[in-house]
């Protein structure tokens, strides 16, 4: 569990108990059978929203095809009951298993895609299944009744029992959602959503977490769909695989609150009764009113409060409780003993990479000794960031070798390189604005594969190293630019790296802020950390770097002590041009 999650979990579980009890109490007062049906549908669509929220809300992998899993649940229950006489009590779990298999089969190819390509492809799955079902003649299936022993087949004469089961399913779904939010699972998903590359560089295996999210999400959706079939007693491909079903999950979650436990519940509680009663009152004259209401609702919510009702209300009316201060007795994590200072740690030889005809990195050779700070300078487009991307596995090299303490870094995935002991920061800082600083840093510790308690200790230690331990409980959205830079540094340190690759850490900082960050880096060096830093600010580089590596047009132009390098004629030429040099000589 994440640090400080116990009180939050307790609070959410209490709320769940109260809401469920109140809802069930309200059910006893409703006598109209149509309203009883609506009372049953609200939790079902809420569960479906909860499932979508795990993949698309926390994980940011927008799925427009969640009806695939909902429909698989519904059809598995129906077909198992019709052909094998299998009770839905077992049919629903069976549907969840089928959905889990489907999730893996869908995930393997589809997670190769990102962004809108992923969203569009997910749309195609339920529609393709829909056409196949129509072709194989499963247009309209009704669930056979079992009069002799109805309860054993999840059939009730008293409609309120359906509501009870629905609330039970919702409670289980919410419980899993809470577990995910409060564990490394949720944090990994948030990191992937924020910036997949940065998450990978922090050691998170994004593909694996996304796949886990899809499987869990698909199973919960299938449970919702399976029970939906039991309530309605008739399923058609359109009613469980259709576009409006997928939209339902998106709509209730977005409306209620993305990446919030209670978001789908709030959304379903407001929108489902609204749409259903409009449908009942006006359905005859205005047959599509439900879809219109949903369409208006998501457009309005997207323009007015893009994160949903929950977050807007919370930001406006509820100040988050102050964060429990960091305990001071946390054991310092066992540091990797710094390799003997002065011995080569990172060795790069003949590294090249071309994009079409452009040689972005061309036969680059250098080494970094343990405990030194190597500054990489060069004009824009010299290949500095590309070099980092080659070293930490974002790009693959055409030729050449790169080894860290004798082990090859090339050919590994980004998160694997991180686990070898390479920490990296990026030009653009991405934080989780609503999460406290400590959680932002813990991502790096989880990435290194630490257990919960070790991760908290490592993150706290990293915050102390950059001098921000006092701010551990502050939401990242309230930090200054300098503090965000230091936060990123702490995130990289939390994984206990042997070497740090820093990409323009000082960009956009004022002189004094710059000095603060530099003193942190100097302190790290005295602690034996090895650093490679890309930076344009010359005075900062002169102060901090032990040696310079100058790149121009992908080639190494010069290496050596800072003083020698800045006097080098070829370097001056690369920066200031031949004319300037000639004038200088004259």
Q: Kindly list the residues in this chain that would bind other proteins in the complex (CB under 8 A).
A: 60, 62, 64, 109-110, 112-117, 119-121, 123-125, 127-128, 131-132, 134-135, 194, 197, 243-244, 247, 250, 254, 286-292, 294-299, 302-303, 306, 394-395
Q: Which residue has the tokens 């960009």?
A: 507
Which CB sits closer to other proteins, 29 or 303? Answer: 303
Which CB sits closer to other proteins, 139 or 453? Answer: 139
Which CB sits closer to other proteins, 97 or 296? Answer: 296
Q: Closest approach of Cβ 337 to other proteins, in Å? A: 35
Phi and psi of 2, rounded to 5°?
-75, 160
Which CB sits closer to other proteins, 154 or 204? Answer: 204
Which CB sits closer to other proteins, 139 or 584? Answer: 139
Residue 284 C-beta-side C-alpha neighbours within 13 Å: 1
Q: Closest approach of Cβ 546 to other proteins, in Å? A: 31
| Residues 145, 149, 152: CA angle, nearest 5 degrees | 90
Which CB sits closer to other proteins, 96 or 251? Answer: 251
Measured distance CA(385)–CA(395) in Å, rounded: 11
Q: Closest approach of Cβ 116 to other proteins, in Å? A: 4
> Do the Cβ atoms of 99 and 219 come closer than 8 Å?
yes
Name the token pair of 531: 């650093």
Give the containing element (helix H, strand E) for 491: helix 481-494
> Do the Cβ atoms of 223 and 77 come closer than 8 Å?
no
Which one-letter DSSP state was computed for residue 470?
Answer: G
> Do the Cβ atoms of 487 and 437 come closer than 8 Å?
yes
Which CB sits closer to other proteins, 163 or 425? Answer: 425
Q: Closest approach of Cβ 505 to other proteins, in Å? A: 20
Name the token pair of 200: 């990978």
Q: Closest approach of Cβ 288 to other proteins, in Å? A: 3
Phi and psi of 511, rounded to 5°?
-55, -50
Q: Closest approach of Cβ 54 to other proteins, in Å? A: 16
> Do the Cβ atoms of 564 and 570 come closer than 8 Å?
no
Measured distance CA(481)–CA(469) in Å, rounded: 17
Q: Closest approach of Cβ 57 to other proteins, in Å? A: 11
Name the token pair of 17: 């108990």
Which CB sits closer to other proteins, 135 or 318? Answer: 135
Name the token pair of 197: 């590359």
Name the token pair of 64: 């427009």
Q: Closest approach of Cβ 207 to other proteins, in Å? A: 15
Of 290, 211, 266, which Cα lies nearest the Cα of 43? 266
Dump the DSSP string for 142-210.
Answer: EPPP-SSSTGGGT--SSTHHHHHHHHHHHHHHHHHHHHHHTSHHHHHHHHHHH-HHHHHHTT--HHHHH
Q: Closest approach of Cβ 250 to other proteins, in Å? A: 7
Q: Is 126 left (phi over 0), alpha (psi -120 to 50) or beta?
A: alpha
Rounded to 10 degrees, the C-alpha dihedral 203/207/210/212 comes to: -90
Which CB sits closer to other proteins, 40 or 56? Answer: 56
Q: Closest approach of Cβ 529 to other proteins, in Å? A: 28
Q: Closest approach of Cβ 107 to other proteins, in Å? A: 12
Q: Supply the Cα-derived Rg of the chain in whole angstroms.
A: 28
Which CB sits closer to other proteins, 192 or 445? Answer: 192
Which CB sits closer to other proteins, 124 or 145? Answer: 124
Three-state DSSP class for 373?
Answer: strand
Question: Strand 499-503 vs strand 358-369: parallel, antiparallel, or unpaired?
Answer: unpaired
């Amino acid at each position: 569990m994440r640090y400080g999650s116990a009180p939050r979990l307790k609070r959410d579980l209490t709320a769940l108990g109260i809401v469920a009890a109140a809802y069930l109490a309200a059910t006893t007062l409703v006598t109209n059978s149509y309203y009883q049906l609506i009372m049953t549908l609200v939790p079902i669509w809420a569960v479906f929203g909860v499932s979508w929220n795990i993949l698309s809300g926390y994980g940011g992998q927008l799925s427009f095809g969640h009806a695939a899993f909902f429909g698989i649940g519904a059809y598995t229950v129906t077909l198992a009951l019709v052909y094998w006489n299998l009770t839905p009590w077992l049919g629903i779990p069976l549907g969840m298993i089928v959905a889990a298999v489907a999730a893996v089969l869908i995930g393997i190819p589809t997670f190769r895609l990102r962004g809108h390509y992923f969203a569009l492809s997910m749309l195609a799955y339920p529609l393709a299944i829909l056409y196949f079902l129509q072709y194989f003649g499963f247009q309209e299936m009704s669930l056979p009744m079992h009069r002799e022993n109805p309860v054993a087949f999840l059939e009730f004469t008293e409609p309120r029992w359906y509501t009870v089961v629905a609330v039970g399913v919702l409670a289980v779904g919410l419980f899993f959602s809470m577990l995910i939010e409060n564990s490394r699972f949720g944090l990994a998903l948030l990191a992937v959503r924020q910036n997949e590359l940065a998450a990978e560089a922090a050691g998170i295996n994004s593909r694996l977490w996304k796949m886990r999210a899809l499987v869990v999400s698909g199973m919960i959706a299938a449970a919702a769909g399976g029970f939906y079939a039991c309530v309605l007693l008739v399923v058609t491909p359109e009613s469980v695989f259709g576009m409006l079903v997928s939209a339902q999950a998106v709509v209730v979650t977005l409306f209620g609150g993305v990446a919030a436990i209670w978001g789908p519940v709030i959304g379903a509680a407001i929108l489902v009764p609204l749409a259903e009663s409009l449908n009942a009152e006006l359905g005859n004259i205005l047959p599509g009113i439900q879809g219109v209401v949903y369409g208006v609702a998501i457009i309005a919510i997207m323009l007015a409060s893009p994160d949903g009702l929950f977050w807007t209300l919370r930001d406006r009316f509820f100040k988050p409780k102050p964060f429990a201060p960091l305990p001071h007795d946390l054991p310092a994590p066992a540091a990797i003993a710094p390799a003997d200072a002065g011995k080569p740690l990172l060795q790069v030889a003949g590294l090249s990479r071309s994009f079409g005809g452009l040689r972005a990195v061309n036969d680059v050779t250098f080494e970094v000794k343990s405990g030194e700070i190597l500054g990489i300078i060069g004009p824009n487009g010299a290949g500095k960031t590309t070099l980092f991307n080659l070293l930490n596995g974002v790009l693959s090299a055409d030729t050449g070798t790169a080894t860290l303490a004798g082990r090859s870094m090339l050919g590994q995935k980004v998160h694997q390189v991180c686990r070898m002991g390479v920490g990296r920061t990026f030009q653009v800082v991405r934080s989780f604005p609503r999460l406290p600083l400590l959680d932002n840093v813990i991502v790096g510790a989880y990435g290194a594969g630490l257990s919960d308690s070790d991760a908290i200790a490592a993150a706290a230690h990293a915050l102390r190293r950059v001098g921000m331990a006092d701010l551990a409980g502050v939401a990242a959205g309230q930090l200054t630019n300098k503090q965000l830079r230091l936060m990123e540094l702490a995130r990289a340190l939390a994984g206990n790296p042997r070497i740090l690759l820093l990409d323009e850490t000082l960009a956009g900082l004022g002189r004094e802020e710059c000095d603060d960050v530099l003193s942190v880096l100097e302190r790290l060096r005295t602690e034996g950390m090895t650093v490679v830093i890309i930076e344009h600010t010359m005075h900062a580089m002169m102060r901090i770097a032990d040696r310079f590596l100058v790149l121009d047009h992908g080639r190494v132009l010069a290496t050596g002590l800072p003083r020698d390098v800045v006097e080098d004629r070829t370097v001056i030429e690369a920066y200031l041009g031949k004319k300037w040099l000639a004038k200088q000589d004259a």
